Amino acid sequence: MTRELWTELIFSYFPVDRENIRQQILARVVFLFAIWTLGLVAYSLDGLLMLYASSLEIVQTLFGTGFIVLLGSYMVQRALPDVTASFRPLVRLDDESFMKLSERVQRHSRSFLPILVLSLVLTFWAGVHHEILKILTVGVSLHSVYFVFLMFLVYLLIGTGIWLGVSIWITIFLVSRQPLDVELSTNTVEKFRGLSRLALWFSLFYFIALSIGGGFSMIGSPALTFLDIIISPFFLFIIIGIISILFPFYNIHLTLLRLKKQQLSEIEEQFQIVKKRLDTVVEDKTYESNEGTMKIVARLLSLQIKERGLRSAPEWPVDTGFFSKLLTLVLIPAVVRVATEILNRTYFV
């Protein structure tokens, strides 16, 4: 099993404290600055210093999207063991089976092969292969080699961000597919707090990265109609993000709903049995029957209270607080895109 995600493996060689987030942030900034400086040297040697130094797109890509993905990978990898441990009370598994589940979750989240495949697909889709063909036919230059390297690195980071989202989805899905050992109550949501927190962490980095990579990069582009904005790939990625975050919780919702119906059915069966016993005892006029009646009535009241509490138990593993936070995060790229369009119409039309 891969012991580290590839990004964390790189930063493990940095002389920084793994648990100190400030040092980790600094390490990522230094890494990205080194990549940018490498490009500065390559373009300078080819006589294109000003072309590179004035490129805000490269700065935005590296220190915007790149930094968000690198920081997000650190936060997710750091939180995942604790989140996985929080699954233990939720599933009806022995220690060995749970250990296998935990290792499977870790293996998915740290796998490099799917990230590499995603990166190659995105790189090819972006047309970088044309630049490679140009190098092979026209000739090799330092700035063209660096450009290919930079694009591959950028899409490797984007692929990493996508895979982190997929691995979180897989984590939640795997938990939802296990036999749950959950006592339904008004506090049911608290038992899934680790999963919801992990999903919100991913949402934060996803929508901020989308805002930086898709919103700010459109500054200076031609003005679009409202319909063009709605059907644009940018808003499509917003919808994909929302669906990818909520869908795994929907599977848990179905499990909780099925468990709730099952427990209500069991209570109803017990209620009918106890009610028949009450009808039988009431016909007896002895002292013992009166004492038995009191016990049966107490049992009926207990079942009614349990039923009332069960009916009030939430059927979703997340509450309104989760949805309100998710909505706030969704508004970030939407507001950035609208602001960008207003700026384009005001200054670039």
Q: Would you list the DSSP string of 105-164?
A: HHHHHH-SHHHHHHHHHHHHHTTHHHHHHHHHHT---HHHHHHHHHHHHHHHHHHHHHHH
Residues 209 and 161 in one domain: no
Tell me whether residue 197 is in a domain.
no
The pLDDT, as a whole number, for residue 282 is: 63
**Residue 269 and residue 155 share a domain:** no
Judgement on whether residues 152 and 255 belong to the same structural domain of the protein: no
pLDDT digit string, tens, across residues 276-292: 777 776 666 554 456 66
Query: Of 3 and 269, which is predicted with more confidence?
Result: 269
Strand partners, 91: 180
Q: Reply yes or no on whether the pLDDT at 301 is more than 80.
A: yes
The phi and psi torsions of 91 (rounded to 5 degrees) equal: -115, 150
Do 95 and 235 lie in one domain? The reply is: no
Alpha carbons within 13 angstroms on the beta-carbon side of residue 191 total: 23
Residue matched to tokens 């005001």: 346
Positive or negative CA dihedral for 97, 99, 100, 102?
positive
Q: What is the mean pLDDT of residues 144-171?
A: 85
Domains identified in the chain, total number:
2
Sign (positive or negative) of CA dihedral 336, 338, 343, 348: positive
Asked if 289 and 226 sit in the same domain, the reply is yes
Does some domain include residue 191? Answer: no
Q: How far is CA 344 from CA 86, 90, 217, 228, 332, in A?
A: 47, 51, 12, 14, 18
84/227 same-domain check: no
- In the predicted structure, residue 124 carries a pLDDT above the cut 90: no
Shared domain check, 175 and 208: no
Q: What integer is the mean pLDDT of 138-160?
A: 87
Residue 257 resides in a domain:
yes
> What is the residue whose two structure tokens read 């993000």?
241
The C-alpha atoms of residue 2 and residue 301 are separated, in whole angstroms, by 55
Q: In this structure, what token pair is assigned to residue 283?
A: 């016909």
pLDDT at 119: 87
Q: What is the pLDDT of residue 38?
A: 94
Would the pLDDT of 217 be above 70?
Answer: no
Domain boundary among 181, 214, 249: 181
Q: Tell me, what DSSP letter sits at residue 91?
A: B
pLDDT confidence tier of residue 27, bands split at 50, 70 and 90: very high
Mean pLDDT of the chain: 80
- One domain for residues 226 and 151: no
**Tokens of residue 263, six digits:** 């427990």
- The tokens for 347 are 């200054």
Centre a 10 Å sphere on the Cβ of residue 286 and count the other Cβ atoms it contains.
9
Are residues 209 and 146 part of one domain? no
Residues 144 and 240 grouped into a single domain: no
Radius of gyration of the chain (CA): 28
Is-contact 205 68, C-beta < 8 A? yes
Domain identity same for 16 and 115: yes
Contact indicator for 298, 317 with CB cutoff of 8 Å: no
How far apart, in whole angstroms, are the C-alpha atoms of residue 162 and residue 68?
A: 12
**Mean pLDDT throughout 137-142?**
79
Q: Report the largest interatomic distance among the alpha carbons of the chain, rounded to a whole angstrom.
A: 108
Q: At what angle do helices 142-176 and 21-45 cross, to 10 degrees?
A: 150
Residue with tokens 């230059």: 141
Rounded Cα distance, 204 and 213, in Å: 14
pLDDT band at 348 (very low <50, low <70, confident <90, very high): low
In a domain, 190, yes or no: no
Kindly state whether residues 208 and 342 are assigned to the same domain.
yes
Q: What is the pLDDT of residue 1?
A: 45
Q: Which domain holds residue 343?
A: 203-349
Query: Residue 239 falls within a domain, yes or no?
Result: yes
